[in-house]
């Protein structure tokens, strides 16, 4: 997949655990884990907005496009 999720990088930079982020965002820790691993097919903009607010970052800090085969 050419879209790379860098959520784990931002969590490390902010010294925040997935559990804490899940509580701030209002989704389950399992969903945070799925998002970190890139195993989701999409993310709602309101969820992305809450993640960015909690981590004080931009959407581009979390999502990266790399050239590769389309799935």
Per-residue model confidence as pLDDT tens digits over 19-49: 999 999 999 999 999 999 989 989 999 999 9
69 lies in a domain? no
70 lies in a domain? no
Rounded mean pLDDT, 13-22: 97
Spell out the residues 6+ positions from residue 32 whose beta carbon is closer than 8 angstroms to its own. Answer: 7, 18, 21, 22, 25
Q: What is the predicted pLDDT for the residue at 68?
A: 78
What does the block give as tokens for 67?
A: 């050239």
Number of domains in the chain: 1
31 lies in a domain? yes
Q: Does the pLDDT of residue 1 top 60, yes or no?
A: no
Q: Does the pLDDT of residue 16 top 70, yes or no?
A: yes
């Amino acid at each position: 997949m050419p879209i790379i999720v860098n959520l784990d990088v931002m969590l490390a930079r902010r010294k925040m655990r997935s559990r804490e982020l899940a509580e701030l965002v209002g989704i389950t820790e399992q969903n945070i884990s799925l998002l970190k691993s890139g195993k989701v097919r999409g993310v709602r903009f309101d969820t992305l907005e809450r993640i960015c607010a909690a981590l004080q970052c931009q959407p581009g800090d979390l999502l990266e496009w790399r050239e590769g085969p389309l799935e």
